[in-house]
Amino acid sequence: MIQYEVRPTQELPRTADLVIIGGGIIGAATAFFAARAGLRAVVIEQRPALATLTTPAATGAFRAQFDNAEEMALVREGIALYTHFAEVTELAGYDIDIRQQGYLWIATTETTAQRQREQVRRQRAWGLADVELLSGAEAHARFPYLAPEIVQARYRAGDGWLDPRKLAMGYAAASHATFVTETAVTGFALVGGRISAVLTTRGVIATDRAVIAAGPFSGVVARMADVELALSLVRRQRVILPDVPDVPPDAPMTIDEETGAHWRPALRGAHLLWTAPGVPPGPPLEDVPPSEAFALGLLDPASDHAVARITPFWRTVWRRNTAHWFSRAGQYTYTPDHRPYLGPTAVEGLFVNCGYSGHGIMASAGGSRLVVETITGQLAPAANPFRLDRPLIERELDIL
């Protein structure tokens, strides 16, 4: 991959067209779309390097198989960008390690199979014509490592994953923004109810527009301007097993739709994940501790959500007991309806780009483009389905 370096500074500019608070993937994506709109952006990051909190904790997966048309549209916009990333960003030769190996959702009961059929019917009505419904026999023929108990599957070959750090740094390099690290935001200066400056530990930067893209810390930053965001922070984890030859390297993301346990190939082995139910929310954390019990729950075939339930080769991996694994944890930032907050707040000039509820990597392009269009006035507030003052109707938790 050709190297395009982003060189952060600790010198705070005196002014900016737009200040972006948060140097993770969402902040970097916002900077990229701001540059395309002709805005001179400054990104403030309190950590010593960009994209080092929630971005590297993500598995980097993306899928168009959503349960609502609006988020599906955001992600499909992202997929179109990711598959032509070097061309769109004008970073010749830049590689974000995209792998379109598909998403395979597995049903082992007729109840889940019926839910899959309804989901696919809705997705096709929203324009997702390439999602497939596979019978148990068709799924076994295409993916012979599946368990015999499988009765049906839904599959889309165009889904997949990428390297989230490379995506974030690609956005950053293409934005040509100023990135100021090791700098914390401490407040906002308001004149007549409008943003006039952002206050930081390195001084004051004058601006009449700012975007909060601080991931789990977005609520903390918003409260500095007396803006309350309904956000719930929940620890999520993944287990990394490198060098496991049993894992088919060409396999899709394979999801047990009954339990939410899923895995995908990575590092000549796999990433294993599970959206554990009932995890209590907590405060934003700079260091999110993983749990060994989480890994054992996915790997031990005796567990009710073991990945061996749908792919029996994991039983062999467990019995052999020679695979090394390590865990990584981060925080999902949930909104009540599990859809992001995108656009203006009640404070004039202050915008939000946060609350992706675990979908930040895949929706970073569409969401950030939408936020920038609200900043420039290209998108009217009423036309924004993710506006902060929308009716927040609680939805069932998406297992991924």
Task: Give the CATH number for residue 241.
Answer: 3.30.9.10
User: What span, in angstroms and rounded, lies between the C-alpha atoms of 290 and 56?
Assistant: 14
Average pLDDT over residues 140-154: 97
pLDDT digits (tens, 9 = 90+) for 379-396: 998 899 999 999 888 766
Q: Is 391 exposed, middle or buried (0-12, 13-18, 19+ CB in 10 A)?
A: exposed
**Amino acid, single-letter form, for residue 199:** L
**Consecutive H or E run containing 36:** helix 25-36
Same domain for 244 and 183: no
**Claim to verify: residue 60 and residue 171 sit in the same structural domain:** yes
Q: What is the pLDDT of residue 393?
A: 80
Six token digits for residue 303: 């567990």
Q: Indicate the number of domains in the chain.
A: 2
What's the pTM value of the predicted model, to 2 decimals? 0.96
173 and 55 both lie in a single domain: yes
Q: What is the pLDDT of residues 103-124, one digit of tens each?
A: 999 999 999 999 999 999 999 9
Kindly state whether residue 2 falls inside one of the protein's structural domains. Answer: no
Cα 327 to chain centroid distance, Å, stands at 18
Asked which of 272-276, 299-303, 310-314 is least confident by mean pLDDT, the reply is: 272-276
Whether the per-residue pLDDT at 398 is higher than 70: the answer is no
What count of Cα atoms within 13 Å lies in the side-chain half-sphere of residue 264?
23
Contact, 215 vs 177, CB < 8 A? no
Taking every pair of C-alpha atoms in the chain, what is the biggest distance, in angstroms?
A: 67
**Residue 264 resides in a domain:** yes
What pLDDT is recorded for position 400?
Answer: 67
- Whether 56 and 168 have beta carbons less than 8 Å apart is answered as no
Mean pLDDT of 152-171: 98
pLDDT tens figures, 231-264: 999 999 999 999 999 999 999 999 999 999 999 9
Q: Both 271 and 317 in a single domain?
A: yes
Q: How many other C-beta atoms lie within 10 A of the C-beta of residue 9?
A: 14
148 and 66 in a common domain: no
Q: What pLDDT is recorded for position 399?
A: 61
Looking at the fold, whether 148 and 244 belong to one and the same domain comes out as: yes
User: CB of 340 within 8 A of CB of 357?
Assistant: yes
Q: Which domain holds residue 323?
A: 103-159+233-329
Residues 182 and 325 placed together within one structural domain of the fold = no
Q: For residue 206, what is the domain's CATH number?
A: 3.50.50.60
The domain boundary residue, chosen from 310, 329, 348: 329
Q: Is residue 389 a part of any domain in this protein?
A: no
Return the closest-CA partner of residue 347 out of 179, 198, 151: 198
Residue 10 lies inside a defined structural domain of this protein: no
Beta-bridge partner residues of 180? 9, 44
Higher pLDDT, 230 or 400: 230
The whole-number pLDDT of residue 395 equals 65
Q: What is the pLDDT of residues 168-185, one digit of tens each?
A: 999 999 999 999 999 999
Please indicate, yes or no, whether residues 353 and 324 belong to a single structural domain of this protein: no
Percent above pLDDT 70 for the chain = 98
185 domain residue, yes or no: yes
DSSP string, 267-310: TTEEEEE---TTPPPB---SS----HHHHHHHH-TTSTT-GGGT
Is the domain of 141 the same as that of 265?
yes
Strand partners of residue 134: 153
Task: Decide if 394 is inside a domain.
Answer: no
Q: Do the domain assignments include residue 364?
A: yes
- pLDDT score for 86: 97
> What does the mean pLDDT of the chain come to?
96
What single-letter amino acid sits at 20? I
Residues 142 and 167 in one domain: no
Q: What DSSP string describes 197-237?
A: EEEETTEEEE-S-EEE--GGGHHHHHHTTT-----EEEEEE
Answer yes or no: are the C-beta atoms of 187 and 178 closer than 8 Å.
no
Over 80: is that where the pLDDT of 98 sits? yes
- Distance, CA of 76 to CA of 70 (rounded, Å): 10
What token pair was written down for 123? Answer: 């997705």
Kindly tell me if the per-residue pLDDT of 40 is higher than 60. Answer: yes
* Residue-level pLDDT at 4: 83
pLDDT at 2 over 70: no
Q: Quote the CA–CA distance of 235 and 80 in Å, as a whole number.
A: 30
The closest alpha carbon to 159, from 239, 238, 60, belongs to 60
Is the domain of 193 the same as that of 168?
Answer: yes
Q: Which pLDDT band, with edges at 50, 70 and 90, does 5 fall under?
A: confident
84 & 110 share domain: no
Whether 215 has a pLDDT exceeding 80, the answer reads yes
Q: Is residue 170 situated within a structural domain? A: yes
Pair of tokens at residue 180: 């100021």
